[in-house]
Structure 1
Amino acid sequence: MLLDQYSLLVAIGFSGAALSVTLLLSWITARSDRFLLTWSAAMALLVVGVILFGLLDHDYDPAVQCASFVFLILGFVLVYAGGRQFRVSRVFWGRIAMLGIIMVLPTLVAFAPGLSGLATIVADVAIAILLVMSGAQSWAGRAEAPLPMAINAVLYLATAASFLLCCVPLIAEGQLVLTTRPSNWAEDLNSIMAIIGITGIGAISLALNQTRIARRHQYASMTDPLTGLLNRRALFDRLGNRDVQPGTAIIVLDLDHFKAVNDRHGHACGDLVLEHFATLLRDHIAASDLAARIGGEEFCIVMPHTSARLASRLAESIRRGLNAQPIRTPDCDIAATVSIGVALCAGTPERFEALLERADRACYGAKNEGRNRVQTSSLLVVAA
C-alpha cells in the first residue's frame, strides 16, 4: 500500500480532530443544536482512542489497547446519541450511559484474563453494532433529506462492515492473545473506510444542519412569532399580485375593542387573547386553508375551493367559538368577541388584493353594525 497503517491512523486523527473543532464552533454559533456538541465530544473521544491505538506501534501494551477501545466505543456511543438528537432533538442520557456500559463491559471482561485478541474481536463487533444503530437513525430520518440521509446510512453501514472484517484475520488465525498491534489487510481497509466515513458523514451532516438553519430563518421571517400563523409578508408573498380563482373565499377577522383589553389588563393578557384566537383559527380551518395575522388584532383566512355558504358557516363557527366562553388569564377571565367580513371570488378570477379589500370592507361593516357579527361582501351575496 502507498500508506502504512501508522500514516492512516495519523490521517484519521487529524480528520477527526478537525471535525471535532468544526462541530464545536458550529455549536457555539447555534446553541440550540445540541447534537453538534455531542458529535464534537464523540470525535474528541475517537481521536484519543486512535492516538492510543497508534502508540502500540512501538511497544505493545494490552492496557493501552484496552484504553484505546474504551475511548473508541464510548466515542461511537456518542456518535449514535448525536444521530438520535439530530433526528428527534432529544435523547435520554440515562439510556445512553447504560448503552455505553453494555458496549464497553464485554471488552473489559475479555481483556481482564489477558485475551487481548478476543477482546479486539469483541470491541470491533461492539463498534460495528453502534455504527449500524447510527446508520438506522439516518435511515429513519431520510424523509427530511432522502438522498443525503441515505448516503449517511450507507457510509455508517460500510464503516461497520470494515470493523467486522477486522475480526476475520484474528478468527482465521486463532489469535486469542496478541503480542503486537493488529496489522493486516483488514486493518488497513478499516482505516481507509474510517477516513471516508468520518469525513463523508461529517460533511453531509454539517451541510444538512446548514439547510435546517436556513429553513428556520425562512420560517421565522414568514411566521408571526406570537401566534405561529403566517405573517402579512408571507401571505402577500404567496398570493399578492396574483389572481385568485373562482371558489376562493377570504375571511377578515378583527377582534373587538382589543385596545381596551391591552389598556385595562396589560399587553401580556392581550397576547394571551391573540394566542387563544390563533389556536381557535387553527382548530377550525382545513389543511388546504391559509391563516395569517395581518395586523395587530386583525387576521385573515384564505379558503380555496369553497362556497359562500361554507365560508360564512366557518366564519360564524369561529365567532361563536370565541364568544362561547371567556379567555382565562392569570389576572382574570376576558370576554372577547370578533367582527368578521367574508368575500368570495365568483364567476371570473379576481386580484387577491381586491378580494381582500372587499372582505376588509365587510369586516368594517360588521363593526359599524354593532360588532360581534359576520357580514358578507355585497358581491358575495349576489354570487351566492
Structure 2
Amino acid sequence: MLDLATLSFSSTVSRAAYFAVFLILALRQREKSYLWHWLGAILASLLGAIMLAKEPTNLTLPVLESMQIFTFYMASLVLSWSGLRRFYGLGFHAYAIVSVVILTVTPALACLLVPWLGASKTIVASVYFLCATAASVMIVVEIMVARREYLWSQIVVAIAFGIYAMGFALSAAMLLFTDLQISTETARATIIFDQINSVLVYVGYVAMSGERANLQLRHQAETDALTGLFNRRGIQHALLKLDFERSGSTTCVILGDLDHFKRINDTLGHEGGDDVLKTFAKRLKNLMRSDDMAVRWGGEEFLVVLPHTSIDEATAFAERLRTRIETEPFMIFTKAVNVTISIGIAEIAQPRDTFEKAVERADRALYSAKREGRNRICR
C-alpha cells in the first residue's frame, strides 16, 4: 500500500500539472474571468498540498501551518464556486461574499482553539469538514439550480462536488460522534479520496469550457450573424428534431419578402438596410411561439416554420405579421421608414410531402402576392 509521502507527492504533482494546463488556457483566453478563478482554485489547493507534502507523516502540525493549510483548501473551494458564478455570467451579492469569507476563515480561526482552550485536533478537523461540506453544497446548487445553459460536462463537476460534500459530512460525523481519531490510515484515505475527486473536478472544468466553445461554434455556423435567426444550414439541423408526422397535426411554412428593399438600400444605404432587417427580425420573433422557427432565407427573404399549425392558423399569423410591419414605421437613423411585406403560405401535406416541396409552393404563392400588388398574403 502506498505510504503518505508517496501519496502526498502524487497529489502535489497532479495539481501542478492541472495548474500548468489552466495557466495556458487562462493566458490564451484572458477575457474569460472564470478561468482565472479556477486557476486560483487549483493554485490554492496546490499550495495546501505542498505544505502537507513537507511533513506528510506528521499528524500534529503546528497551529500556524494548520491554519494556512485549512485556508488554502477552503479558498480552493470558494474560488471554484466563484468561477462557476462567472462561467454562468452571474455576479456576487454582498451576503454571498460575506458567507464565503466566513467559510474560508472559520477553520483557520478554529485552529486557535487548540492553544487557547485546549480543543482537540479532532474538533478542529470537524470544523474544517463542516465548512468544506457547506462550500461543496454551494457549488452543487450553483450548477443544478443557477445554471444558464445545458452542458453535459457540468454534471460531472456537480457529481464530483456532491461526492466531496458527502465525504466531508461523513468525516465530520465520524469524528464528532464516534471514537475515530485522526491517524495515518484516515490521512491516507482522505488523500486518495481527494485525488480521485480532483481529477473529476479539473477535467470537468476543461470539458465545460470546451463543450461551451463547441456549442457556440455550432450556433455561429447555423445562425445568421445580422438578424440572429437561423440560416439555411441551421434550419436543416433544426428540422431533424421536428416530428412532421405527429398524429392529428400539420405544419406550415411562411415565406415573406420585404417589398422594394432595393429602394430602401438605395435611400438609406446598406447600413440602414441592415437596420431594417434587424428590426424586422425582432418583430418577427416577438410574434412567434416557442417552437416556431424563423430563417433568413435570402437577402430580404424570411422563412417561418410553424409546427403543428393548420393553414388557417398560419394565415392568421401571417396577417398579424403583415399588419404589424405595415402599421408600425421602422425608426432608422431617427427617420420613420414605411415597410411592407409580401407573404406566401404552404402546408406540408401528409404523409409523403417534404419540407422542400412545401417551400417551393410557398415561393410560388409569394410570387403571386408580388404580382398582385405586394403587401398581401397568398396561399
Q: Aligning the two structures, in what range does the TM-score lie when normalised by the shorter sequence?
A: 0.7 to 0.9
1:289 is matched with 292
The amino acid across from 1:198 in the alignment is S
1:116-140 deviations in Å (ceiling 9; x for gaps): 7344432232122212222333444
Q: How does 1:1-384 map to 2 (within 5 A)?
A: 2-30=1-29, 33-57=32-56, 60-86=61-87, 88-92=88-92, 94=94, 97-112=97-112, 114=115, 117=121, 118-140=123-145, 144=150, 149-164=154-169, 167=172, 168=174, 183-236=183-236, 247-346=250-349, 349-376=352-379
1:162·1:189 contact (CA, 8 Å) conserved in 2? no
CA distance in 1, matches of 2:226, 2:9: 51
Aligned-residue offset at 1:161: 4.0
Note if contact 1:73-1:103 (Cα within 8 Å) is conserved in structure 2: yes
Shift of 1:72: 1.5
**2-side partners of 1:79 and 1:230: how far apart?**
35
Give TM-score, length-normalised by structure 2: 0.83
Structure 1 residues 47, 95: CA separation in 2 closer, same or farther (over 3 Å shift)?
Answer: farther
Give 1:150 deviation, angstroms: 4.9
RMSD (Å) for aligned C-alpha atoms: 3.4
Of 55-64 and 68-77, more deviation after overlay is shown by 55-64
Q: Spell out, residue by residue over 1:231-284, the C-alpha distance to the aligned partner (whole angstroms, 9 max, x if none).
A: 0222345669xxx77944321111122233233223333222212211222222
Q: Distance in 2 between the 1:236 and 1:107 partners?
A: 56
Change in Cα spacing, 1:171 to 1:66, as seen in structure 2 (3 Å) is: farther
Check the 8 A contact 1:19/1:43 in 2, yes or no. yes
Amino acid at match of 1:199: V
User: What letter matches 1:301 in structure 2?
Assistant: V
Contact 1:15 1:198 in 2 (8 A): no
Secondary structure (helix, strand or coil) at the match of 1:353 reads helix
C-alpha distance in 2 between matches for 1:307 and 1:97: 53
Identity of aligned residues (%): 29
Q: In the alignment, is the contact (CA less than 8 A) between 1:166 and 1:186 conserved in 2?
A: no
Deviation at 1:337, TM superposition (A): 1.3
8 Å CA contact 2:40, 2:79 repeated in 1: yes
| Structure-2 change in CA distance of 1:97 and 1:235 (3 Å) | closer
Q: CA deviation at 1:32?
A: 6.2
**SS of match in other structure, 1:266:** helix
> TM-score, with normalisation over the residues of structure 1?
0.82
SS of the residue corresponding to residue 144 of structure 1 reads coil
CA distance in 2, matches of 1:172, 1:235: 62
Q: CA deviation at 1:38?
A: 1.6
Give SS of 1:199's match: helix
Unaligned residue ranges in structure 2 (runs of 5+): none
Following TM superposition, by how much is the alpha carbon of 1:366 offset from its aligned partner in structure 2, in angstroms? 2.2
Query: Would the aligned equivalents of 1:339 and 1:374 in 2 still touch at CA under 8 Å?
Result: yes
Q: 1:143/1:284 Cα in 2 relative to 1: closer, same or farther (>3 Å)?
A: closer
Following TM superposition, by how much is the alpha carbon of 1:292 offset from its aligned partner in structure 2, in angstroms? Answer: 0.6
Amino acid in structure 2 at the alignment position of 1:82: G
Which residue identity lines up with residue 185 of structure 2 in the other structure? W
In structure 1, what residue type is equivalent to 2:17?
A
Report how far residue 220 of structure 1 moved: 1.4
Whole-angstrom CA distance in 2 between matches of 1:307 and 1:340: 16
* CA positional deviation for 1:326: 1.3
Q: CA deviation at 1:202?
A: 1.9
CA displacement 1:338-377 (0-9 Å, x = unmatched): 111223344763343333223223223322333222222x
Q: Is the 8 A contact 2:78 2:104 kept in 1?
A: no
Structure 2 distance, partners of 1:97, 1:304, is 46
In structure 2, C-alpha distance between the alignment counterparts of 1:348 and 1:97, rounded to whole Å = 59
- SS of corresponding position for 1:70: helix
